[in-house]
């Protein structure tokens, strides 16, 4: 039996592992996404379930993010003493957010179809 094909697969797997580690999101992009999260939640009118960064640009003083966000929008709290059925609506948006010097400069949401 020839062990060469097995070694070839091992080398490919190792190369994929190294490539995926190198392609990880930089820490400053994750920090910018954390700053954008509350602003996007206010604009969407709910709680953010997930935020995905699909494209980012790092400039000298600003970071621009684009991606998809999933928001759970619910009903308002019922009046004291009243019961309410709690309905959650799962909505998806595309977003753009620009962070400059640890401040969100612009953020926009557009519903996905």
pLDDT over threshold 60, residue 81: yes
Residue 85 pLDDT class (50, 70, 90 cuts): low
**pLDDT one-digit tens code per residue, 14-71:** 776 666 655 567 888 999 999 999 999 999 988 898 999 999 999 989 999 999 999 9
Q: Would you state the structure tokens that stand for residue 48, as one six-digit string?
A: 């953010």
Architecture of the domain defined by 25-111 = Roll (3.10)
pLDDT over threshold 70, residue 102: yes
Is the pTM here over 0.75, yes or no? no
CB 113 within 8 A of CB 45: no
| pLDDT for the residue 1 | 47
Give the Cα separation of 74 and 89 in Å (integer).
Answer: 6
With DSSP H G I counted as helix, E B as strand and the rest as coil, what are the percentages for the chain, rounded to 5? 35, 40, 25
> What are the residue boundaries of the structural domains of the chain, listed by start?
25-111
Give the Cα separation of 85 and 38 in Å (integer).
Answer: 26
């Amino acid at each position: 039996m020839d062990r060469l094909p097995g070694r070839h697969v091992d080398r490919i797997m190792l190369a994929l592992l190294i490539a995926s580690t190198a392609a990880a999101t930089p820490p400053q992009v994750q920090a910018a996404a954390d700053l954008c999260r509350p602003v996007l939640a206010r604009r969407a009118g709910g709680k953010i379930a997930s935020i995905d960064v699909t494209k980012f640009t790092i400039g000298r003083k600003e970071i621009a993010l684009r991606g998809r966000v999933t928001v759970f929008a619910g009903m308002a709290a019922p009046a004291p003493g009243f019961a309410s059925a709690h309905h959650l609506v799962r909505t998806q948006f595309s977003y753009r957010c620009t962070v400059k010097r640890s401040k969100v400069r612009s953020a926009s949401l557009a519903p996905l179809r």
